Amino acid sequence: MTGTAAGPVEINPWLRMGPCTPDDCVEPPAALAGPLHRVARLLAAVLVLLAGLSIALATRRAGTAWRAEITRTWARLLLRALGIRVRTTADVAFYTEPQPAPTAPNARSAPTAPGQGGALLVANHVSWLDPLVMAATVPSRPLAKREIGEWPLIRTLAAGSGVLFIDRERLSALPLAVATVTNALKAGDTVIAFPEGTTWCGRGMGEFRPAVFQAAIDAGAAVRPATLRYREGDSTSTRCCFVGDDSLLASLLRVTATRHLVAEVTLFAPVRLAPTGQRRHEARATLARIAEAQVRAGVVEHHEERAEQREERADACVPGRRREMAPLSP
C-alpha cells in the first residue's frame, strides 16, 4: 500500500470556517410574509439593483466622499426593498470623551465621529447583507474578495461603490491586501472589514484575525468596533445569516419571506494603540483583541438580554407557573 506524504499546510489568516449551519441555526420566522409580499420585495430589489447599475456607471469618476454618500443612500433603499430596516445606536462614549479600554493599558480612545477622517470599521460577520448594512450606516468602502469582481453585475456595482478587492486565496497576496487598505485609510477613507473571516449565525462570533489591523497601524488610523445584529421584534433573528453550505438564493428567499426584520448596528468609541515599542505582530494582535472584546460584549450581552426577556414572557404565559416576587417593603 502506497501513499503520498502531506506537504506543509499554508494557514491563510483571511479564511476561516465557522461552526454554524443552516440546519442547526436558522429558526422559523416570527411572522411570515405572504406570497405577494415576497414577490413585491424581490421585484423592488431588482429595480433598485438596476438603478444601482446606472448610478455606479455615473459615479465611477466621482470623488470618494460623494460616492460613499450615494452608496449609503442606495444601500438603504436596497435593504428597505428586501424588508429590512436599519437602526443605528452608539455607545455613550462614542460622542463623549471616551476612556481607555480597561483590558488594554496600551490602548487609547480617539473621540472621532463616523465619517470624519479615515478609520478601519470592524464588525462581527453574519450575512452577505453585512456590507450593505454597514455601508448604509457609515459612508465607507467595504473589503471584498477578488472573485466578486469577476461577476459582471456585481463588478459594476462594486466599482461604483468603491469596493476594495483583496485576494483571500493566496497567503502571498497578504502584504498587497494590507497595503491596499493602508493606502485607502491614508487617503481619509473609512474601510469596512469583518476580521472573523467567516460568518456566524448572530448568536455568537469567532475570533478576530489580526492581519487587517496592520493596515490601521501602518496608516496611523483609528479602529472603530461595531456590533451587528439582526432582529425580529425583540428577539435576535437568524433568518439573515449566511452560514455553512447555505446558498445565496436560499438566503435571499428566506429574508424576503420574513417580516419585521431590523438590522441593528452599535458603534463603539474608536481606538488607537499608544506607542509602546511592541513588535508589529504583537501590536496588531493587541489591537485585534481590543476590538474583538468590544464587539463580542455587544453580541453576547444582546443575546443574553433577549433570552432573559423571552423566559420572562414564557413564565408569565404558562398556566400554573409561579414567579418569584420581591417582598413588599414594610
Provide the pLDDT for residue 298. 86
pLDDT at 302 (0 to 100): 57
Q: Report pTM.
A: 0.79
For position 44, what pLDDT does the model report? 97
**189: domain CATH number?**
3.40.1130
As for how many domains the chain has, the answer is 1
Q: Please choose, from the candidates 92, 59, 94, the residue with its C-alpha nearest in 3D space to the C-alpha of residue 73.
A: 59
In a domain, 96, yes or no: yes
Instruction: Check residue 303 and give its pLDDT.
Output: 53
Percentage of the chain modeled with pLDDT above 90? 52
Is 322 a domain residue? no
C-alpha cell at 139: 459612508
Phi, psi dihedrals of residue 65, rounded to the nearest 5°: -65, -45
Higher local confidence (pLDDT), 63 or 35:
35
**Residues of the domain holding 209:** 22-317
For residue 103, the model assigns a pLDDT of: 40
User: With pLDDT > 70 as the criterion, what percentage of the chain qualifies?
Assistant: 76
* In-domain check, residue 103: yes
Average per-residue pLDDT for the chain: 79
Each as own residue / partner, the long-range contacts of residues 31-36 (CB below 8 Å, 24 or more positions apart, any chain) are 31/232, 31/258, 31/259, 31/260, 32/257, 32/258, 32/259, 33/83, 33/256, 33/257, 33/258, 33/259
Query: What is the arithmetic mean of pLDDT over 131-157?
Result: 83
Please indicate, yes or no, if residue 326 is contained in any of the structural domains.
Answer: no
Task: Give domain status of residue 329, yes or no.
Answer: no
262-321 pLDDT, tens digit per residue, is 999 999 999 988 766 778 889 999 999 999 999 999 887 655 555 554 444 334 333 343
Distances in Å between the Cα of 211 and the Cα atoms of 147, 170, 208, 235, 294 are 20, 14, 9, 33, 18
pLDDT digits (tens, 9 = 90+) for 76-102: 999 999 999 999 998 644 433 333 443
Task: Look at residue 1 and tell me if it is in a domain.
Answer: no
pLDDT at 53 over 80: yes
Within a domain: residue 267? yes
Confidence at residue 312, expressed as pLDDT on a 0 to 100 scale: 47
324 within some domain: no
pLDDT, greater one: 195 or 115: 195
pLDDT tens digits, 101-118: 434 445 554 444 444 458
Contact, 92 vs 266, CB < 8 A?
no
pLDDT of amino acid 320? 40
Query: For cell 425583540, what's the residue?
Result: 234
